Structure 1
Amino acid sequence: DLCGGRPPEPPPLDAAEPAPVAPHATDAFAHELAMHARYAFPVGASKPGAGEPGGTSGVLTLYLRRAAEVAVRQFRQEAAQDLWLQLADLSWEAPRAAAVFQAGSAASMRGRSQEAQGLFSEAIALFREIGAHRPEAAARRNLAAVEYRAGLVEQAERHFEQALATFSAVGNRSGEGNTLGNLAALFLSTGRVDRAEKSFGAALAILREVGDRRGEGSTLGNLAAVYRYTGRVEQAEQSYEQALVINREVGNHGGEGIALMNLAGLYVETDRVEQAEQTWEKALAVHNEVGDRAAVGATLGFLASLYGETDRIDRAMRTIEQALAIHREVGDRRGEGVTLGNLASLHEMAGGTEKSQRIYEQALAILQDVGDRRSEGCVLGNLANLYLVTGRVEFAIRSFESALTIHGQLGNRLFQGSHSCDYALCLLAQGRMIEGAERWRQGMAILKSVHADKEAGRKRLDMQVACAKAGVAPLVEGSA
């Protein structure tokens, strides 16, 4: 037969652990075959029994399923979403719920937040109706992930906890481990660093116990962020590299892109700027390949900041506007807030202080709304710097104190060190020399501990200018 004849029936879509669909020679034409079958499919046949393998509708559901699977493998998420929904319309009970779930996953990858929330909610209701608790928990976990990205943090935490309880109750250890890792990431972004680290550790133990390498790779990458934010640079880099190896080993291209993106951020913080730019460009290529729009927006934002730091302001502005448009398109409120903060910094570099202040304030409002305390602290410190350079020292001091409180609570060592040095210059401007000198030494010691040599160099230059302006000798590092 041409192309090996009709392909075999794929494994059940609603299986507890769905097996991968084996490739077939007809897969290249699966979409066209499904459309031909649809012309022969009688209207109104979508009812129990309509999808019997031997009938015309069975042929249609077979090729729709295969076409959807091929679209997923090729990262054509829009086509995949449409095909899964067509399949859902011709299915019932568990297969219908599973197809709706898959459509939600495709919508999520496309960054269609509202569509994804609606589809996952529909899947939850369908699974609950037939008493399918494990897939119901999976749909609830995915709904929580979309809500988290949209800034609905309280809803997301509640749904993650409900999913975790269900996975535990039905004895699904892999689901339990992955959901615990999702919760840990939420704890980290909302400032519960100790709880995040403990939860990541517990998640890793479960995932290794059950041999879930894909989940292990994702969780290692997230645990690396804890190490990175708390100044444990060597551990962070090792964990990111382990995550990258595992994601490549299991063929998780989306996870590979995320690991590359985060590793590049660590390179910037440890003054490996050229390596960071190359790694972000690799990450961007992967994100575009797999259709992860939110990750594309995040990586463009990081690249824009790097362009700004390396005096490519025009390119930085163009790139960050692209990033901002994507975050708004996909409903990523947290990403929008972070990117606005970076845009404000670029305007400040370009001399637009009034516009910069307005954008910092917009960024703060969003970050406070979504509960991203780490980014809130970073933006507060950057806004304080703007107040300082424009002579509003009292405003600067209050904002630095708020930022440093957040950095201290979250263990954000890099920004704690950087903003401590800036705060010292505020104290100098007020004539508080002893306090300023002590705060300066503390800040420089922290920067040294996290290997931020380039940042420390910038702070030395700022200090020398401030001391010359105040008519005092440059501050001395080390013990008093």
Structure 2
Amino acid sequence: MNAELAYFFRHALLRDAAYQLQLPGDRARLHGLAFGIIEAAHGGRPPEAPPLESLDDRKWVPHASDAVAFDLSEHARLAGVAHGDEYSNARRLYLRRAAENAQSNFRNSLAEAWWRALSELVDGAARGEALRRAAHVGYRCGRQAEAMKSLELALEIHRSVGNRRLEGVALEELAGVYAATGNLKQSELTHEQALALLRETGARRFEGIVLGNLASIYGDTGRIEQAERAHVTALAIDRDLGDRNNEGIGLSNLGLFFQETGRVDQAEGAHEQALAIHRQIGNRRGEGVALGNLAVVLLQTGRADLAERILEQAIAIDRDVGNRRAEGIAWDLLAGVMGETGRVEQAERTHELAIAIHREVGNRSAEGAALSGLAGIYDRTGRFGQAERTMEQALAIHREVGSRRGEGVALGNLALTYQATGRLELAARTFLQALDLHRQVGNTRFMGAHGCEYALCLLAQGKRSEAERLWRESMVLLEGVRDVQEIRFKRNRMREQCSKSGEAPLDEASP
């Protein structure tokens, strides 16, 4: 320890000793004096915020005291030892401002702790709402178990006081936790319960949020028309209310839906609109997510360099705002770019990083997708045993969480490994299962990608006429979604296989 540090250490010890020598009443008066001086030096007391239980969605307005709000709440707490209720209101006011300020500046651990502390100072519906807000911050940082406990207590409180509106809002939050941890069936049921309560109590902003979430579940489980209707209705509600934040989120969700159903131009347009809105309103969290979504379209349409730059921006933002869930997804997408551009070792390490983050935050669906990507790397580098085991893990996860879209992708990729190891009949059966699921969920891109691979399997089985027909149909699908990278990759694979077997390429007339 250097001399300066030693001085500060001794000074702190002496200061604490002097403080402890004061009588409790004198210490409380000192805290009261400190509270008054600090508050006056920071612009005086800010106005009272609307009651927590009112769900007033007026934008939070910063105040000069926000930088010291938690210190003021602590001085008020300690001053209250001698002065009773005189400081109670001030303590609640500043603790709430500290939580709101921390949340708006992405200091998520502090925000969660301070919302939880505030819940101990209020009662009734206000306590339930403070617990919900703690859960809202917590589960987005990967603390799902703590969030679940807080939300269950919040629901118990709202039901006991008969606040059906806040019960609906807490149910929406709980449904989000179920979705984040891969329990899609329970998430859908809980969203539907929330929707009924929110419509009954006229909470339209939250109604739009629930519909958008349900739309994503419908899409992932193959109910395409229902998903599109819910996306459009949710977006209409956001626009009707002038809710720009949720409009941006809704456009991102709609863009993903367009991607998954093969409407690439519409997807890119929706992601660009979402990105513009998030930047306009200063929503950094939403900006990071929108950048990641846009990068997928760019990679698919042959703009790998731009996709990589955008993903690097997305990861920087996700880290800055503490969005570990989105960061994990962005790393997995970046691994895909690396794999597509020949950096196989780097892609493998990056997939592994993404998987670690998904497991940390409990994102089962994304873990399954990342395992599929990693299995693809193993397959391409001849490690077929590892590829098969890893793909089976991915398939088990997608089935566990009820993601028919993910199940179809995993089955098709597993069929590739069967094909590469000479198990052609098993590969053919598995391709057929995958293609059936792709049709059910409207996954045009993978109908094309796995259709091409199945055509090569048929060719290896000596069924050239079937292979030619399926190849043409599958290429039309890939061209329709403008998947330049996949088209190039499939053509190279086909020509390599045909060259080895001494046959004419499938896109040329057979002899």
TM-score, normalization: structure 2?
A: 0.88
91, 103, 106: which is aligned to 2:134? 103
Deviation at 1:292, TM superposition (A): 1.4
Distance in 2, Cα, partners of 1:157 & 1:479 = 51
Distance 2:497 2:424 in 1: 13
**Aligned twin of 1:344:** 375
Q: State the alpha-carbon separation in 2 of the partners of residues 19 and 445 from structure 1.
A: 50
Q: Verify: 1:146 aligned to 2:185, yes or no.
A: no
Tell me what 1:68 maps to: 99
Alpha-carbon distance, 1:28 to partner = 1.2
Question: Aligned equivalents of 1:35 and 1:263: distance in 2?
Answer: 45
The whole-number CA distance in structure 2 between the counterparts of 1:370 and 1:351 is 30
Partner of 1:136: 167
**Structure (1 or 2) with the greater helix fraction:** 2
1:160 shift after superposition: 0.3
Q: Which whole-Å deviations, capped at 9, do the CAs of 1:262-281 have from their partners, x for residues lacking one?
A: 11011111111011111111
Cα displacement (A) at 1:140:
0.5
Deviations 1:100-126 (A, max 9, x none): 111111112211111111111211221
8 Å CA contact retained: 1:444, 1:477: no
Which amino acid in structure 2 is aligned with residue 363 of structure 1? A
Counterpart AA for 1:3: H
1:400 maps to 431
Return the match for 2:357 from 307, 310, 326: 326
Contact 2:212 2:230 in 1 (8 A): yes
Matched with 1:5 is 44
The answer to whether structure 1 residue 453 and structure 2 residue 484 are counterparts is yes
1:30 maps to: 69
Which of 270, 273, 279 is residue 304 of structure 2 equivalent to?
273
Distance 1:478 1:251 in 2: 57
Task: Give the 4+ runs in structure 1 shifted more than 4 A.
Answer: 477-480
By how many angstroms is 1:248 displaced? 2.1
What is the rounded CA distance, in whole Å, between the counterparts of 2:239 and 2:57 in structure 1?
20
The answer to which of 30-39 and 451-460 deviates more is 30-39
Quick one: which of 242, 263, 269 aligns to 1:211?
Answer: 242
1:183: how far off? Answer: 0.5
Of residues 202, 208, 216 in structure 2, which corresponds to 1:185? 216
Where structure 2 has 5 or more consecutive residues not aligned to the other structure, the ranges are: 1-39
**Residues 170-179 or 184-193, more deviating:** 170-179
Please show how residues 50-69 of structure 1 align to structure 2 within 5 Å.
55-69=86-100
Equivalent-residue separation in structure 1 for 2:99 and 2:73 (angstroms): 10
Which whole-Å CA distance do the structure 1 matches of 2:441 and 2:152 have between them?
33
Aligned residues: 472
The Cα of 1:242 is off from its aligned counterpart by 1.1
Distance 1:191 1:68, change over 3 A: same
Query: Does structure 1 conserve the Cα–Cα contact (< 8 Å) formed by 2:125 and 2:166?
Result: no
CA RMSD of aligned residues (A): 2.0
Q: Which moved more, 1:66-75 or 1:305-314?
A: 305-314
**Residue 307, structure 1, aligned to residue 371, structure 2:** no
1:415 aligned partner: 446
Alpha-carbon shift at residue 430 of structure 1 (Å): 0.8
Partner SS state of residue 4, structure 1: coil
409-418 vs 14-23, which deviates more?
Answer: 14-23
Query: Is 1:297 matched up with 2:334?
Result: no
Deviation of the 1:143 alpha carbon: 0.6
Structure 1 residues 479 and 265: alpha-carbon distance in aligned structure 2, compared to 1, 3 A threshold: farther
C-alpha spacing 1:119/1:479, structure 2 compared with 1 (3 Å): farther
Q: TM-score, normalised by structure 1?
A: 0.94
Residue in 2 that maps onto 1:158: 189
Are residues 1:39 and 2:70 paired?
no
Further displaced range: 343-352 or 442-451: 343-352
Change (3 A) 1:371 1:3: same
Q: Is the 8 A contact 2:128 2:158 kept in 1?
A: yes
Q: Structure 1: any 5+ residue segments left out of the alignment?
A: none
Structure 1 residues 295 and 417, CA, compared in 2 at 3 Å: closer, same or farther? same
Cα 1:378–1:396 shift into 2, 3 Å: same
* Counterpart Cα distance in 2 of 1:405 and 1:203: 30
Q: 1:231 is matched with which residue: 234, 237, 262?
A: 262
Q: What amino acid is aligned across from residue 103 of structure 2 in structure 1?
A: V
Q: What SS does the aligned partner of 2:42 have?
A: helix
Q: Identity across aligned pairs (percent)?
A: 45
2:12 maps to none
Q: CA deviation at 1:174?
A: 2.1
- What CA deviation, in whole Å up to 9, does each residue of 1:204-262 have, x standing for no partner? 22222222222222112111122111211111111111111122223322222211111
Query: How far apart are residue 477 of structure 1 and its match?
Result: 6.1
- Shift of residue 366, structure 1, vs aligned partner: 0.4
Aligned equivalents of 1:477, 1:240: Cα separation in 2: 38
| Alpha-carbon spacing, 1:463–1:120, altered in 2? closer, same or farther (3 Å) | same
Aligned equivalent of 1:260 = 291
Distance 1:41 1:190, change over 3 A: farther
Corresponding residue of 1:361: 392
Tell me, in whole angstroms, the C-alpha distance in 1 between the residues paired with 2:48 and 2:241.
29
- Three-state SS of the structure 2 residue aligned to 1:14 is helix
Query: Do the aligned residues in 2 keep the contact of 1:357 with 1:383 (CA within 8 Å)?
Result: yes
Give the Å deviation of 1:18.
4.0
Change (3 A) 1:476 1:290: same
**Separation (CA, whole Å) in 2 of partners of 1:57 and 1:217:** 39
Q: Aligned residue for 1:84? A: 115
Separation of aligned partners in 2, 1:112 and 1:478: 58
CA contact (8 A) 1:120 1:143 kept: yes
When structure 1 is superposed on structure 2, of 438-447 and 345-354 the one drifting more is 345-354
Partner Cα distance (1:312, 1:35) in 2: 53
Distance 2:74 2:104 in 1: 20
| Equivalent pair of 1:441/1:479 in contact (CA under 8 Å) | no
TM-aligned CA deviation for residue 33 of structure 1: 2.1
Letter in 2 for 1:100: L
Cα offsets for 1:25-68 (capped at 9, x unmatched): 2211112222333333449x9xxxx8x6xx22222212211111
CA distance in 1, matches of 2:219, 2:252: 13
